């Protein structure tokens, strides 16, 4: 949160955020998202209850929110809030051409935050025993299969890498495609994270995991380190053209540039799709789901199970095993 946002924050919300940062160990990015989600909810309540008027929605103050205010929240109000999100909330807040109505996944995340907040003030700190969202259901989401590159497309992407930062970019793409890192995880890598044939990753929630590097990654990293500028005091593994730690936006643009150069659809693929690609290729070549869960840094196995669609050979065998698979209509 910025200093201005912290000043806007009511005490009950500030303590909730402090708990998640200091005890639950969530990242500053997650804390910022929690603040924005709860601020949006509190603004809606102030507006729907008629507490404010003639104030632009994005300027509605929330300092009035306290336990008395929260004890009046009803399940009906939460449903009204969901309706507001699905009909009136802009998808891209700062875009004049934005569509309206948040997707089910975005609404589900906001409900999860509200559920966590009320659990905190009821079960953790016992400030009240009224929890209007204890039995609320999350919006039903479409189960979309992850998009990923094929093996040939992945090899083509690596083959197409060239340019001023060819060695660095090749190493970055190789790690994405072999290790399945998140963009933020790659940006946060330091030289000290490399230990012989392993690399230490700082993932979501400040959780660390060690990944073994295969020969392709080790070779790509050795080649990059041979040409990496030795900048005093700069600990980042991957450096930008200005010899500073690479920002996640820079990495995103880098991946898009090379996808385009490889003739791939940049509207479908991104650095996150390279993570999907790594997971898909590992699973379809014998890595079990629980091992993949550790590699990707997922807290829950059901998150990893979205990749179980990829091994179509088992599904194909199951279809052929059905005794009706060879049935034909008699003429």
Residues with catalytic roles: 182, 204, 272, 275, 298, 307
For helices 28-48 and 104-119, the axis angle rounded to 10 degrees is 90
Q: Which residues are bridge partners to 210 per DSSP?
A: 200
User: What tokens appear for 66 in the block?
Assistant: 């306290």
């Amino acid at each position: 949160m910025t200093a201005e946002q912290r000043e806007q924050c009511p005490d009950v919300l500030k303590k909730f955020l402090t708990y998640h940062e200091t005890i639950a160990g969530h990242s500053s990015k997650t804390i910022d998202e929690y603040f924005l989600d709860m601020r949006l909810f509190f603004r809606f309540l102030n507006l729907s209850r008629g507490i404010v008027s003639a104030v632009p929605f994005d300027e509605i103050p929330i300092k009035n929110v306290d336990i008395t205010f929260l004890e009046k929240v009803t399940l009906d109000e939460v449903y009204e809030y969901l309706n507001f999100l699905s009909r009136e909330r802009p998808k891209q807040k700062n875009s004049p051409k934005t569509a309206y109505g948040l997707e089910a996944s975005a609404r589900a995340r906001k409900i999860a935050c509200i559920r966590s907040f009320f659990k905190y003030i009821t079960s953790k700190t016992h400030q009240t025993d009224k929890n209007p969202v204890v039995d609320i259901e999350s919006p039903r989401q479409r189960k979309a299969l992850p998009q990923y590159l094929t093996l040939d497309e992945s090899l083509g992407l690596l083959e197409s890498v060239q340019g001023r930062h060819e060695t660095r970019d090749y190493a970055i793409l190789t790690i994405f495609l072999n290790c399945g890192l998140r963009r933020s995880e790659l940006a946060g890598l330091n030289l000290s994270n490399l230990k012989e044939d392993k690399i230490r990753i700082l993932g979501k929630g400040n959780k660390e995991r060690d990944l073994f590097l295969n020969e392709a990654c080790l070779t790509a990293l050795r080649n990059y380190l041979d040409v990496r500028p030795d900048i005093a005091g700069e600990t980042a593994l991957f450096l930008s053209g200005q010899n500073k730690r690479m920002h996640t936006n820079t990495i995103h643009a880098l991946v898009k540039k090379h996808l385009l150069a490889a003739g791939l659809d940049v509207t479908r693929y991104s650095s996150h799709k390279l993570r999907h690609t790594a997971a898909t290729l590992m699973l379809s070549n014998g890595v079990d789901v629980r091992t993949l869960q550790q590699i990707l840094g997922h807290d829950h196995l059901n998150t990893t199970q979205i990749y179980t669609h990829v091994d179509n050979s088992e599904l194909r065998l199951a279809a052929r095993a059905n005794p009706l698979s060879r049935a034909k209509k008699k003429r």
